[in-house]
Each structure stands twice: as structure tokens, then as C-alpha cells.
Amino acid sequence: MTKSIKNIIITFLIGCAIFVVGNLLSGGFDFESIGKLVTNFVFYQIYTFVLGYSNMFFFDYLEKRHWKKTDTLKRISVGIIGATIITLIGLFLLRAATALLMNGVTFSDFLMNEKFRYYQFGLWITLTIVAIFHVIYFYNKYQQNKIKEQKVIAGTASAKFDALKNQLDPHFLFNSLNVLTSLIEENPDKAQKFTTSLSKVYRYVLEQKNKELVSVDEELQFAKTYMTLIKMRFEDSIVFTMPERATNPESKVVPLSLQLLLENAVKHNMVTPNKPLHIIILEDHGHLVVENNLQPKQIVKKSSGVGLSNIKQRYDLLTNKKVNINQEAKRFAVALPMLTKQISIMKQTELPSRLDDRYVRARKHVEELKGFYYSLISYCVVIPFLIFVNYKTFWGFQWFWFPMFGWGLGLAIQAYRVFVNNSVLGNSWEQRKIEQFMREEEKNRWK
């Protein structure tokens, strides 16, 4: 179903609801004939279609604009003020068209007889619907951010797992310990450097477990340490060059990405004194490029593509910039985007690992509880004020029921999510869905 058809259906259903409410408030469905009933229904649908679609276009315009996280109040204020102006203009044009085209009234007579109370019903119906749409919009945004946050957490956890798996691979450890054994006898000083480099590799992997981005300088320093370890194994069979520091010290990349790319280069290419492997790390137009001469092994274990795929997925979750892969006959290169803007998809928390999950869940519940109490206090202050304004201006039409009902419905949904744990859409349900999502992501990752 296209968005236009969906909007038409929603507008028609809203028009039916307003038709029922409007006639109930004006004395019931006492029409002289079926024709009068149909005419009344058509008028309600025309009004709903014009006002509904004009506000939908305005809502879409606001959604496409770039809003900061701190602009929530501004976004709501602009939405409500804009909807009020659009609704008043729409009602004026519809009433003018009806008076001039159907009733034969002149425009000057129409203006003389216009009163604000003729606009109250349409205005407050529209504002009630706009308020409900805002509640749904911000609730959906909240859910999307939560899903995105969990995907980043899942991606970071997967990267840590892959990095540890690569480093703890029995073949890697076997070769490293063999090199260390021979160095202890032949060159104790070199053996000490090898051991120091090996410990730095493991320490860096563990240090990055809670980070979504690290500085390029940190990654370059780690890559240098890692390749020192590799060169002790392959000696002159590997030629490695890289810059000491990044051009922009604020630039960042996904952690452990260089290690995965360097490991892949060594794993999939021949590394011999006759055919040395040349690995180069360089900066190129905002990217950190890792390239090597392509000399594939004749017999190599089939690659699962986990490392490179994981890097691409994590970048997809953090930015619109893409990881570029360029394979030629004699050259293979991967370009990692260097990010300079602040990315705040997920909050960093320095806690002992065994307390991380419990703390995050407790903090999330406290934030939701605080948000509900703020909403409840606002409701208890604003609604009585609206009732007072309604009473002082024109009590003949009690429009305060519309915001009271619309806002109250949103408040009830919020209370359900905060206080009901085990039912559908409760906190426990959300946790189960997150765990299910992460299991499915892990399963798909290994296919």
C-alpha cells in the first residue's frame, strides 16, 4: 500500500469519526432526508480532506527538516502553531467557498457575518488530531532510536567477539608461541619485544570493548604494534608502511577495523621472501585506506567474510558514509571513512562488566519513569487551565474535552509501558524482543 493511498484511507476514517462527533454535539442525526444526510457527510469529508492533507504536508515538511535532539520543544511549538494557522486559513477558504458558490452570499457580507466561534470546532478537532499524531511520531522516533542503539550494541559486541576470535585462534597462538620459543634461544632481546607487542595487542582489544569509535591515531598506533608482531614472524616477507599520525587529530574510525583488515591481508595472500606482501596505510580524501598487492594463496580456507562485513555493518549504523572496497588484478584496497562529527547513538558507561546490563536497564526504567511523571504533572496543570479558558471564553461549546481525551490517551499508553512489565509492549516484552533481534542478527551473520 502506497503512502498516498494510506493517507486517503486515514483521512476518510478521520472524516467519518468527526462526522459522528460533530452531529452528536449539534443535536444528533435528525436529518430531513437521506439526501441531507449524504450532503452533510460529504461536507465533513471535504473539510477533513482539505484540512487533513494540508496538515499532513506540513507535518512531512517538518519531518524532513534537520532537528537537533534539544529541539523537541521547538519542534512541538512550530508544529502546533503551524497547524493552527493552516487550519484557520483552510476553514476560512472552505467557508468562503461555501458561502459564495453555494449560498450566493457576497464576499463583503460573508466577512461581516464571520465569527470566531464558527472556527472553534474545526480548530480544536484538528489540534486534537495533531496532538495525537505528535504523540505517535515521537513514540515511533523513540522506538527507532532504541532499535538503532541496540543494533550498535550488537555490532560492537560482535566486533569484539570477532577480534578476540582472530587473536585467540589456535593457529595464530601456535605460530606466535613457536616464534617466541625460537627467539628465546636465539635472541632474548627480540623475544622480550615480541612478548611486549603480544600483550599490547590483547590489552588494546580489551580496552576497546565499550567504544563505538576511536581516534585514528589510536588505531594507527595499534596497527604499528600489531604489524611489529606479524613482522617478527614473517621478517622481510612483509613490507609495511603507514603514517605516524592522522592529518586531523579529531578524526575517528571504528575500533579494531585496521586489525581485521591487516589480518585478512596476511591470511589471504602469499607471504614469502620471493613474493613479499606490501601493505600500505594512507589517508585519501577523508578515508583511511588499507591496501596491499594481491597475490592470493593457491590453497586457502574459504573466507566467511565476517570481518569486512562486520566493519561495513557498524559503519552503516553510525553514518551514511560507506566503506569502499576496490579490487584490481594486482591490488586490493579498503577505504574506511574517517568521521569527524560527534556521534551520540549510544551512551558510554564506565562500569564493571557484570553490572553493565543491570545498570543500563535500571537507568532506562528511571528515565521512562521520570518522563511519565513530567507528562502527568504537565497534564494536571495544563488541562485545568484549558478548562478555565473554555469556561471564561464560551462555555456553550466545551472544546476542552478534545485535548483532555487525546492527551489522556497518550498518557495512558505511556503509563502502560512504564508500569506493565510482562504484557504486550511492556518492559519485559521489549527486552525479550531485543534479545530475539540480537539472536537473529547473530544467526544471520554466520550464514
pLDDT tens digits, 111-148: 888 888 888 878 887 778 777 777 777 777 777 777 77
Which three-class secondary structure state does DSSP give residue 326?
A: strand
66-114 pLDDT per residue, tens: 877 777 778 888 888 888 898 889 889 988 988 888 888 888 888 888 8
Specify the pLDDT at position 108: 87
271-289 pLDDT per residue, tens: 888 889 999 999 988 899 9
Specify the pLDDT at position 376: 78
Specify the pLDDT at position 165: 47
Encode 207-259 in three state secondary structure: HCCCCCCEEHHHHHHHHHHHHHHHHHHHHHHEEEECCCCCCCCCCEECCCHHH
Specify the pLDDT at position 109: 86
332-376 pLDDT per residue, tens: 999 999 987 654 443 333 333 434 455 556 666 667 777 777 777
Residue pair 246/215 in contact by the 8 Å Cβ criterion: yes
**For a pLDDT cut of 70, what percent of the chain falls above it?**
75
**For a pLDDT cut of 90, what percent of the chain falls above it?**
8
How large is the average pLDDT for residues 427-435? 61
Highest CATH level, class, for 169-337: alpha beta
How large is the average pLDDT for residues 27-56? 82
Residue 239 has pLDDT above 60, yes or no: yes
Q: Starting at the earlier edge strand, list the strands of the sheet with 324-327.
A: 238-241, 277-284, 287-293, 331-337, 324-327
b/e per residue 130-169 (b: at least 16 CB within 10 A): bbbbbbebeeeeeeeeeeebbbbbbbbebbbebbeebbee
Residue 221 has pLDDT above 70, yes or no: yes
Specify the pLDDT at position 332: 93
Indicate the residue type of 27. G
Specify the pLDDT at position 228: 83
Which residue would you say has higher pLDDT here, 398 or 432?
Answer: 398
Residue pair 1/31 in contact by the 8 Å Cβ criterion: no
